[in-house]
Amino acid sequence: MEITNSTIKNIVLASSSPRRIDIMTKAGYSPIVMPADIDENIPEGTKANDAVKALALKKADAVIEKIRLEQPSLYSNAPVVIAADTVVSYENKILGKPKDKEECIQMLKMLRNNKHQVITGVAIKVINGKEDEFKDRNFSVVSDVEFGDYSDEFLDQYSDTAEPYDKAGAYAIQGTFGQFVKEFHGDYDNIVGFPWAEIEPYIKKALYRYRINNIDHYLKAKEGQKTIKLAIDGGFTCPNRDGSKGYGGCTFCSDSGSGEFASNINEQIQLLSQKWPKAEYMAYLQNHTNTYAPLDELKAKYENILSNEMIKGLVIGTRPDCLSDEIISYLAELNKETKLWLELGLQTVHDETAHAINRCYDTALFYERYNKLKEAGIKCVVHLILGLPGESKEMMLESIKKVAVLKPFGIKLHLLNIVKSSVLAKNYPIETYPFKDIDEYTDFIVEALRYIPPEVTVHRLTGDAPREILIHPLWSHEKRTILNQIQYKMDRDNIIQGDLLK
């Protein structure tokens, strides 16, 4: 599959201009063409720069509203909308598209043997875009053009054609009147009506997020605001800790069941509300196995959490061997009342690894319970760990590919953190750790993402245990550097999640 920007289907061009479409197509983009239907009259006395910026913004807003009303699925995918408006300005007089032959000839006589300006206003907006990630752009670009001489007879003939009537100033530099341009200064594409050199950097910045179907972006687009998962300690344990199936828990887990950041609802809201004062909250039962209890106890705990008016949904971390038909049936009913998804701790599809890490269930059971949850309409996020003892990169990639085929709601790729109080802290041979540094790890992640279908939400791409308990790899606490390097490599090589799938 050839990788081009046309793979990204979330760019809307608020114009049917063949010139603008051609510029984007030649740059490798395939925009959704959706012209704006607006009143383009410019109030008397408006400056050209102000006029084109206002009209471009008006076009963008009109198309966004059209998408909202007529194409809700596109709207929920948070597209980038690009709009532009171009005018010719001569001695501070705005020349738009001529209404008739008389106005066409009048404009071109004005420009004959004179200098004028071509001004394009641009608006770039991301529907439901995060303000701190990409701010809407509204700007104008000016180019200077000087015409030579042409006859009145030529103007009479030219004005009888269709060419001048959809163009500001009644001409196009790439058309018939190109022969009369003595010189120009500035961006040629701007004179055509689309200053691509100014536009594309903003588009690339806006499209970063479309390279990965990040759960934060997904929820922002779906809910219209930031959604935060509050890591809650539900007071559970695991069947491979209490002797039901084994002791000691999974070998990678700390004493807290990988819940170092978990606490209670009030503490979590107090911690996070200053950074995101307008966020929506989902309770995340994170550590241990949060369906490992009698059904009545589960109901009481879940419903108590959801009774808090601040909580708008529930995320449950669990194991497939702790999901009886009875529990799944209850979760299916709960799913009708609130936002809900389960995080299933698979870690690997390789049973020899699963046995080594004391997982205490076979991969076949995961598939059986996953299918049962899918039949019940319950969203699932599958958790995999990268770097488990004895696993090669090929084995890790096989786990990712086999999960990707299922097309779950989401996937978590968690870099193995060797932490204090875990079994691995005592017996993991550090010299065999498969990723020597951030560069090697991010290379692997970028490759792995290419096998994950674009509709699968990505919930995690690394691991960041607290420094005070982290033994290895020490570079894993550089979470921002890791994520930035993943984005950089995907942008550099024009890679998009799922682009190797047929």
Q: Among all residues, which ones are annotated catalytic?
A: 85
Check if the beta carbon of residue 399 is closer than 8 Å to that of residue 368.
Answer: no
Q: In 10 A of CB 359, how many CB atoms?
A: 26
Query: How far, in Å, CA of 499 to CA of 212, rounded?
Result: 11
Query: How far, in Å, CA of 381 to CA of 255, rounded?
Result: 24
Strand partners of residue 343: 317, 381
Q: In 10 A of CB 432, how many CB atoms?
A: 9
**Closest of 438, 423, 437 to residue 389, by C-alpha:** 423
Say whether 226 sits in a helix, a strand or coil: coil
Q: How far apart are the first and last CA of the chain?
A: 8
- Could you tell me the two tokens for 363? 């991969």
Q: What is the DSSP letter of 213?
A: T
Q: What is the DSSP letter of 460?
A: E
**Closest of 488, 391, 501 to residue 445, by C-alpha:** 488
Q: What angle do CA 362, 368, 371 make, to 5 degrees?
A: 140
Query: How far, in Å, CA of 264 to CA of 281, rounded?
Result: 13
Q: What is the DSSP letter of 176?
A: G
- Tracing tokens 């020597």 back to the chain, one arrives at 436
Query: How far, in Å, CA of 436 to CA of 282, rounded?
Result: 36
Check if the beta carbon of residue 196 is closer than 8 Å to that of residue 23.
Answer: yes
Say whether 272 sits in a helix, a strand or coil: helix
Taking CA atoms, 64 is separated from 49, 126, 128, 326, in Å, by 23, 9, 10, 45
H, E, C per residue of 465-480: CCCCCEEECHHHHCHH
